[in-house]
Amino acid sequence: MISTTPGFTIAVDDPSVSPAVTVVRVEGRLEFGEAVAIWSEANRLLVSQTSARVDFDLSRVTSVDGAAMALLVHVRHRLQDTGKRSEFVGASPSVQDIVHLYEGDAHLPPRPKRKAESTLSQVGRGTMHVLEEGQLVFAFFGQMIISAIATIRAPRSANWKDVTPTMERTGADAVPIVLLINFLIGFVMAFQGAVQLKQFGANIFVADLVGASMTRELGPLMTAIIVCGRSGAAFAAELGSMKVSEEIDALRTMGFGAMRYLVLPRALALVLVMPVLTLLADFVGILGGLVVGLLSLDLTIAGYVLETRKALHPWDIYSGLIKSIVFALAIALIACQQGLATTGGAEGVGRRTTSSVVTILFSLILLDAGFTVLFHAFNL
């Protein structure tokens, strides 16, 4: 059983000579450049060894570098883990120095084997994690309420100067994308609806379909999704970066609570801009429907507008605005909570930003479903 590659040789003595002790004879120069060959040779020759003791005879090793020795030491540890005795023997003083440096002569305690976690346990752990995260968000919401009450009692303590720039970033800067997306949503919905309604000669009801859907559901929801992607992610990343660079701690030591100084201005700005963005979304969504009506359904502008006015009730718009305010609170709350919970440097910021967007999207759908059930229950 001899294996030779350029520069070194690893050979195992014939087991019939001495079945109790296997001697692995290593010769030549063991260098990093041949690490792959050393690794595969050592593992291949040792995989079938049944002796209670496996020694590595290094007496003919002329030189060895750190990487090669690290691999041999690892192989020795693996043998020890399986209950075998294993030593490096016969090394020259210079090679023995490297053996010692890499703890090849140390007797390490057996490494505890990690037990594979069962699927049920993983599901349980994941569920507990979700519940704990939910608990943290609710606790954060409670702190936000307390902080908001304290701010109402002492308005001078609020960080008002951050509200306007945040409104500009989250509101004014988002207008183009909100207009474009919602126009296309209205356009597509009208187009799909028209295909069906045409069959019954009910073209005009496209206006009802688009009007009601945009104001009650899609306007607030699509706007919230866009704001989540833009501002929610930005809040989480911004606060997360501040957290890992100790800026939040610095603010706290100067007497600025993160809730009062950072979270409330963002939440207030979103609550103020989201209804405006939602109204714009409603308008351009209906406009998208109108374009389809004009181009492919032979409707007139006056006819489409009249039908939309007949179909829409003030509550349709109000319900969308109520939703938008709750969505705004959810986005600000979750994004800021996730940002402030960031640990672990740049990687942690990325993880929390992703987590905040996913959690917000899930919460928006959940809240929207809740509103639908609630409004239906009260015949609204």
Partner 1 sequence: MTGDIMVRVAGLRVGWDDVVLQESATFDVARGDVFAILGGSGCGKSTLLRYLIGLEQPTEGTVFVTGIGAPLLEVGRPPFGVMFQSGALIGSMTVGENVGLPLHEWTDLPVDAVAAIVRAKLRLVGLPGVMDKLPSELSGGMKKRAAIARAMALEPNLIFLDEPSAGLDPVSACELDELILTLNRRLGLTVVVVTHELPSIFKIVSRCIMLDRESRSIIAAGDPRALRDDCSDPRVRRFFHRSSKEES
Which residues lie near partner 1 (CB under 8 A)?
241-242, 245-247, 249-257, 260
What is the DSSP pairing of strand 53-64 with strand 2-5?
A: unpaired
Give the shortest CB-246-to-partner 1 separation in angstroms: 4
Question: HEC string of the chain?
Answer: CEEEECCEEEEECCCCCCCCEEEEEEEEEECHHHHHHHHHHHHHHHCCCCCCEEEEEEEEEEEECHHHHHHHHHHHHHHHHCCCEEEEECCCHHHHHHHHHCCCCCCCCCCCCCCCCCHHHHHHHHHHHHHHHHHHHHHHHHHHHHHHHHHHHCHHHCCHHHHHHHHHHHCHHHHHHHHHHHHHHHHHHHHHHHHHHHCCCCCCHHHHHHHHHHHHHHHHHHHHHHHHHHHHHHHHHHHHHHHHCCHHHHHHHCCCCHHHHHHHHHHHHHHHHHHHHHHHHHHHHHHHHHHHHHHHCCCCHHHHHHHHHHHCCHHHHHHHHHHHHHHHHHHHHHHHHHHHCCCCHHHHHHHHHHHHHHHHHHHHHHHHHHHHHHHHHCCC
Cβ closest to partner 1, residue 173 vs residue 249: 249
Give the shortest CB-242-to-partner 1 separation in angstroms: 7
Cβ closest to partner 1, residue 81 vs residue 249: 249
Give the shortest CB-76-to-partner 1 separation in angstroms: 23
Cβ closest to partner 1, residue 244 vs residue 290: 244
Cβ closest to partner 1, residue 219 vs residue 265: 265
Cβ closest to partner 1, residue 118 vs residue 253: 253
Cβ closest to partner 1, residue 190 vs residue 340: 340
Give the shortest CB-171-to-partner 1 separation in angstroms: 19
Cβ closest to partner 1, residue 289 vs residue 339: 339
Give the shortest CB-330-to-partner 1 separation in angstroms: 25
